Amino acid sequence: MASIGVGLIGLGTVGSGVVEILRRHGEDFSRRAGVQIELVRFADRDIARATALGLDETAFTTDAAELIADPRVDVVIELIGGTGAAKQIVLDALRAGKSVVTANKALMASSGQEVMDAAAAAGVDIMFEASVGGGIPIIGPLKHSLVSNEITSVAGIVNGTTNYMLTRMADDGLDYGTALAEAQAKGFAEADPTADVDGLDAAAKIAILASIAFNSRVTVDRVPVEGIRHITPADIAYAREMGYAIKLMAIARRSTGGIDVRVHPAMIPGTHPLASVSGVYNAIYVTGDAVGETMFFGEGAGSLPAASAVVGDLIEVARHLRSNCLNLVGCTCNEQLPVRDIADLEARYFIRFAVADKPGVLAAVASRFGDHGVSIASVIQKKVRESGDAEIVYVTHDASERAVRAALDEISKLDVVTEVAAVIRVEDL
Ligand SMILES: NC(=O)c1ccc[n+]([C@@H]2O[C@H](COP(=O)([O-])OP(=O)(O)OC[C@H]3O[C@@H](n4cnc5c(N)ncnc54)[C@H](OP(=O)(O)O)[C@@H]3O)[C@@H](O)[C@H]2O)c1
């Protein structure tokens, strides 16, 4: 049996999971792939990580370039993350004729085209299943099993940290700060939670999924993004009263004007399968013209789930190497669809105001909405706050984001309006 040499760069959370899975099942994998898969070199900044994993220290290096240049290395696994050194490593490995497996969403969402082009030029594989949804298979299914469809939408919960926080806020009434502190204490959120709570992590993932689903490159900088910092237990309670749940949604839809892609908190129907995805779990709901509706569910992060996808990709590459058919699918972005301006979005909106508790306020607010062609589906007037202000909630019919923003700009300047407390899109999915 021929043997395939693997060089692993990054022995952190996911890298250590890869080592563990290869140890547990390496022999089986070699049988399944028809080739011996051998971890021949590894790199990290600190040899202590290799020692802790019981790896052969003589196969360790701190120099990724040395690993790439090693003739025994046929496949490079990049698990350091980020877009700096990782980008160089991935491009250098591809240009050296080595296939690459990565879990790096930041890299693929920002420089995916450059990376895919380098792989095509060298005639090698680039695989990145773990970059979206951790252990959930989604890139493979979109590129292979669902390729017979015209995909109309991909909508998902792709960030476990924020889903955990929103679940705790909904189930136990925690406020945002307490939910974040708890997520950090449990290791679900970083000390700097920006990438998660501001939606940036989810934006990178939906950029990757949109590119594959619609065969047209979407980079992360084109994804309008709004995080969950402003979500309050009050909004969650209103949502529940209306039969909805609030989730941080990553959405990509094929539309007449191009691709509608975005990340923001949304009210989704409580009866939709995505509403029951709780805690750190992720799920991606894909709709295709032939298959109908499908949902991919599982653990979106963590050492072994992410490593499950990485090792799955590795075995696929080993099969390709064995049968000498690398870069069979490659880049599938053979169209150039425009990404729509979010101002052109048509959606329903939940809008919560604090207003002076006096006659005529409702009419004043409603007339500004009317001036901009925003039609109101329902109005809920709730308790008077301690300050003496009243809280009113409007839910609009389908309206353009541009019109809603223009109306809100005027309404926020009315003397009787103390605060535009929340604006949340309602997605009936
Ligand atoms: N963690 C997850 O659940 C998960 C899930 C899906 C995808 N991913 C992706 O997987 C990748 C790895 O994530 P991770 O959580 O495993 O990260 P991690 O725990 O921080 O591990 C990264 C390792 O790479 C090392 N490293 C950084 N720069 C290096 C360099 N230039 N040369 C050699 N080693 C270097 C780091 O050392 P230092 O710590 O000393 O910098 C660290 O040991 C990222 O792209 C991430 O987005 C992670």
Place of tokens 């996808």: 309
For residue 62, report the distance from its CA to the centre of ligand 1, in Å: 14
pLDDT tens digit string along 168-191?
999 999 999 999 999 999 999 999
Count Cβ atoms below 10 Å from residue 316 Cβ, excluding itself.
Answer: 17
pLDDT at 244: 97
Q: Which of 205, 247, 382, 383 is catalytic?
A: 205
The rounded Cα 138 to chain-centroid distance in angstroms is 11
Rounded-to-integer distance, Cα 401 and Cα 12, Å: 42
Q: Which residues of 131-143 are buried (b: 16+ CB within 10 A; e: fewer)?
A: bbbbbbbbbbbbe
205 is catalytic: yes
Rounded-to-integer distance, Cα 137 and Cα 221, Å: 25
Does residue 302's CB lie within 6 angstroms of at least one atom of ligand 1? yes
Does residue 300's CB lie within 6 angstroms of at least one atom of ligand 1? no
pLDDT tens digit string along 370-413?
999 999 999 988 777 788 899 999 999 999 999 999 999 999 99
Count Cβ atoms below 10 Å from residue 401 Cβ, excluding itself.
Answer: 19
| Region of 12 on the Ramachandran plot (φ > 0 left; ψ -120 to 50 alpha; else beta) | beta
For residue 362, report the distance from its CA to the centre of ligand 1, in Å: 53
Between the alpha carbon of residue 188 and those of residues 192, 197, 280, the distances in Å are 12, 12, 8
Atom of ligand 1 nearest to the CA of 84: 31
Does residue 104's CB lie within 6 angstroms of at least one atom of ligand 1? yes
For the chain, which domains are there? 3-134+303-322 (3.40.50.720), 139-299 (3.30.360.10), 342-426 (3.30.70.260)
Count Cβ atoms below 10 Å from residue 260 Cβ, excluding itself.
Answer: 22
Is 28 a residue whose pLDDT tops 80? yes
